[in-house]
């Protein structure tokens, strides 16, 4: 997938913007297909899943995610460090507890490739 090497906007359920806080630089591990999502606005921060929930990290093991591509074109992101935990957003657009998030509607994101 070409978007692995590009800046992308990740939106939930068609909501949300395409600004810096919703834009991520996808870093793909060519060996195993895992990714890290580096924030475009604060490039020292990565999306992370820790025991406390969905947060940010500095790019270490809590930031390693496995993308799951769905037939409808959406993508969900699973934690590699905590199997069974996924990135998700509640209806109010607040982060969802990864322990309570599977690969359903609250965990499916649209990917929009950003111009370089």
pLDDT 10s digits, 40-60: 888 899 999 999 999 999 999
For the entire predicted model, the pTM comes to 0.85
Reported as a single tens digit per residue, the pLDDT across 83-110 is 999 999 888 888 899 999 999 988 998 8
Q: Is 4 helix (H, G, I), strand (E, B) or coil?
A: helix
Share the mean pLDDT of the chain: 84
Over range 14-37, report the average pLDDT.
Answer: 77
Question: Contact 37/4 with Cβ under 8 angstroms?
Answer: no
- The Cα 23–Cα 9 span in angstroms is 4
- The Cα 1–Cα 5 span in angstroms is 8
């Amino acid at each position: 997938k070409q978007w692995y090497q590009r800046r992308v906007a990740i939106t939930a359920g068609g909501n949300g913007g395409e600004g810096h806080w919703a834009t991520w630089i996808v870093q793909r591990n060519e060996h195993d297909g895992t990714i890290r999502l580096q924030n475009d606005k604060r490039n020292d921060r990565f999306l992370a899943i820790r025991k406390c929930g969905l947060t940010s990290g500095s790019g270490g093991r809590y930031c390693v995610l496995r993308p799951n591509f769905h037939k409808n074109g959406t993508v969900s992101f699973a934690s590699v460090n905590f199997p069974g935990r996924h990135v998700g957003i509640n209806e109010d657009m607040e982060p969802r507890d990864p322990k309570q998030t599977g690969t359903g509607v609250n965990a499916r994101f649209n990917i929009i490739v950003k111009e370089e």
